[in-house]
Amino acid sequence: MRIALIYPPPWKIAAREETVSYGHDGPPPGHRPQDLDADFYQTPYGLFTLGAEALRAGHRVKVLNLSAYAWSRVEEVIAGLDADVFGMSCWTANRRGVALTARCIREHHPKAHIVVGGPHATPLATEMLEHHPEIDTVSLGESDATFLELLGRLELGKPTSGIAGTVYREGDAIRKGPERRAIHDLDTLASPHTYFDTHIVMTSRGCPWACTFCGAETTWGRGFRGHSVRYVLDALERVLARLPVKMLQIKDDTFTTNKKRVLELCHGIRERGLQFFWSCDTRVDLLTEPLLREMRLAGCQRLSLGVESGSQAILDAIDKKITPDEILESTEMAKRVGIKVRYYMMLGNRGETRHTFQETLDFLDRARPHEYIFSCLSIYPGTRDFHDAEAAGFVDREVFFTETFQELKTPFDASEEDTHRMNEWFFANSGLRIVHRDGVADYRAILERLGDYHAAHMDLGAALYHAGDLEGAEHHVRRALELGYPLPGLVHNHLACIAHARGDLDGMMNHFSHAAKVDPQHFVLIQNVNAARAWFKQGGPGRKLPLQLTVRHDFQLLERTVQPTLPGPLPEDWKAWNAIALPAEPSATYLRTPDVEGSQHVLKTRTRLKVVV
């Protein structure tokens, strides 16, 4: 069968040259581009897992990321895709785009089967079918086995009613199939990295905790399940063979839930000689210094911690089950081995006041992570926040079908005055905030603790460069290269900048040229090469014009916007069904710029929230 897996835009987007207004189908009033987090544009990993399962079963599959496409182009693509089955991933932010795309699919392909899944569709499955008659089936939660069973029935011309884990139409009625048990052995699943190029990796599913704002349990069920270490290592080898930039994001809900498993994984990475850098997300109470040391030596560069608040009262209210002291201890342990620490913080959680928020700001001054990002509370369907808010009568699920807001960003119970104060602060401080930078002494101590490790040499070399010690910088940067630093383009970028600081322009360009040959994909390298070319063109050396070059190698995934991971251009033969995966050319531009991360969408006050009753 021909299967199109679509990641649609959030609403109807007008092309730059268009003057059309899409009204209720367009962006919400007052919307700004920065209100959508850059991560929104990443194709959800679930679409790749479903695509891999379908490909292994012998179907023909296309995964298309249309998340930033103008609506006129979306219509053109949908009309040109002669698919038997269209599947879409539905999140709260793109729920309207899913409905609009389903309508477009039904118009152009009246006989196609339309199935929708995802964290927004699962808790509102019945309502989605009631409001959107174009959708045939909603797949609930973990959908791998459900999707394959659906495809099997369609291929044989059998009815799709009664499939476990679905909500479906039966005549004019909407029915729910039996509950589907969670997949016990995740290793039985096809690896997305056998078929698709994506820098996102998931090694496990689920989280044993139940924070009030989180919907992981709705998607995966309660508890933690992990792929075996061998399965993950094999997947890592596949993805590293496919990707030009050796940087990966491990996006498990809580990566270090099973510390023994993570230690074995880190040992396996080193034993197999896999050279790459990675980041992961976890909790502060699941870390030890020996574990963090092994993670760093296996390539972990950044640790994102769900901190949420520095107030114990708020941490207790949201059932976080951590303390500020545990946050401080984990932060210091990670710093000692050179892992960059990022905090994810929140505004507007239950119990939040100006006083608890000030506690959080004071705590950040004490903790001094390398960086943090604040987000405003979104009340997502399926979370405890949603159920409690619905029971209290200040949220009605119908607003997700009648209102145009992007996400329901509203304080759980803060006063209007406190909300206004928090929004003022957030407006001035949203996005990625840099708090702490390690210095030469810190990096020397880290190198001593880790031994002769390439990334520790690179960190120290960069610090010495910024301190003006060019000889020391070159020594450690070159040592990083000798030890197999997995991003040689950034090493040569450093050496080019060192040569420029010495006035060696030939050496600078030689290093830039070599970097472009062996490892050309990095944003900072491209930025510097373009700056140097423009400088020479303007007669910079003879006119003594300044040349500003950037020395940085921090963990950042700034890949070109290429299908199917990001909404890049489609290849010329995108309508054909003779390819397993779309061989697309990258966009000439990048999806995001350095350090622009995190939504800048502020909280609404509850008193202004329109509730349909």
- How many domains does one find in the chain? 3
More confident residue, 593 or 520: 520
Is 461 found in the same domain as 419?
no
Kindly state the helix (H) or strand (E) to which residue 356 belongs, with its residue range: helix 354-367
DSSP line for 53-83: HHHHTT-EEEEEE-TT--HHHHHHHHHH---
Tell me the average pLDDT across 486-514. Answer: 97
Is 241 found in the same domain as 103?
no
136 lies in some domain: yes
Is 498 found in the same domain as 394?
no
Report the share of the chain in percent with pLDDT over 90: 83
Taking every pair of Cα atoms in the chain, the longest distance, rounded to a whole number of angstroms, is 79
**Distance from first CA to last CA of the chain, Å, rounded?**
43
Predicted pLDDT at 173: 95
601 lies in some domain: no
Structure-token pair, residue 605: 């006050």
Predicted pLDDT at 21: 85
Predicted pLDDT at 555: 83
DSSP line for 167-211: EEEETTEEEE-PPPPPPS-GGGSPPGGGT---SEE--EE--S---
188 lies in some domain: no
Predicted pLDDT at 584: 47
Is 481 found in the same domain as 406?
no
**Tokens 């119908």 map to which residue?**
398
The values of phi and psi at residue 610, to 5°, are: -85, 120
More confident residue, 18 or 418: 418
Tell me: pLDDT of 33 over 60.
yes
- Find out whether the peptide bond into 564 is cis, omega within 30 degrees of 0: yes
pLDDT band at residue 593, thresholds of 50, 70 and 90? Answer: very low
**pLDDT tens-digit profile of 66-120?**
999 999 999 999 999 999 999 999 999 999 999 999 999 999 999 999 999 999 9
What per-residue string of b and e applies to 48-67 under the rule 16 or more CB within 10 Å gives b? bbbbbbbbebebbbbbbbbb
Number of neighbours of residue 308 by Cβ within 10 angstroms? 24
253 lies in some domain: yes
Is 491 found in the same domain as 388?
no
Predicted pLDDT at 560: 62
pTM: 0.93
Question: Are the C-beta atoms of 601 and 405 separated by less than 8 Å?
Answer: no
pLDDT band at residue 556, thresholds of 50, 70 and 90? Answer: confident
Summary mean pLDDT of the chain: 93
604 lies in some domain: no
**pLDDT tens-digit profile of 442-452?**
999 999 999 99
Distance of CA 512 to the CA centre of its chain: 30
Q: Residue 452 to residues 339, 484, 485, 610: CA-CA distances in angstroms?
A: 16, 11, 12, 60
**pLDDT tens-digit profile of 466-492?**
999 999 999 999 999 999 999 999 999
Query: Of 478, 431, 405, 313, which is closest to residue 94 (Cα–Cα)?
Result: 405
Question: Are the C-beta atoms of 348 and 420 separated by less than 8 Å?
Answer: no
Is 260 found in the same domain as 374?
yes
Long-range contacts of 491-496 (CB under 8 A, 24+ apart): 491/458, 491/515, 492/518, 492/519, 492/525, 493/522, 493/524, 493/525, 493/528, 493/551, 493/553, 494/458, 494/461, 494/462, 494/465, 494/551, 494/553, 496/528, 496/549
Task: Find all residues with CB under 8 Å of 130, minimum gap 6, and list them.
Answer: 174
Predicted pLDDT at 612: 31
More confident residue, 220 or 325: 325
366 lies in some domain: yes
Predicted pLDDT at 557: 54
Amino acid at 80: G
Is 407 found in the same domain as 520?
no
Is 216 found in the same domain as 169?
no
Predicted pLDDT at 522: 86
Is 445 found in the same domain as 379?
no
pLDDT band at residue 603, thresholds of 50, 70 and 90? Answer: confident
Question: Are the C-beta atoms of 198 and 103 separated by less than 8 Å?
Answer: no
Q: Which domain holds residue 468?
A: 441-543
Helices (H), 212-287: 216-220, 229-242, 259-271
* CATH assignment at residue 587: 3.40.50.2300
* CATH assignment at residue 504: 1.25.40.10
pLDDT band at residue 592, thresholds of 50, 70 and 90? Answer: very low
**pLDDT tens-digit profile of 359-407?**
999 999 999 999 999 999 999 999 999 999 999 998 999 999 999 999 9
Predicted pLDDT at 308: 97
Is 583 found in the same domain as 459?
no
Predicted pLDDT at 606: 64
**pLDDT tens-digit profile of 527-551?**
999 999 999 999 999 999 999 999 9
Is 204 found in the same domain as 311?
yes
Kindly state the helix (H) or strand (E) to which residue 87 belongs, with its residue range: strand 85-89
The 3-state DSSP class for residue 160 equals coil
More confident residue, 354 or 20: 354
453 lies in some domain: yes
Tell me: pLDDT of 331 over 90.
yes
549 lies in some domain: no
Is 458 found in the same domain as 309?
no
Predicted pLDDT at 439: 97
Tell me: pLDDT of 56 over 70.
yes
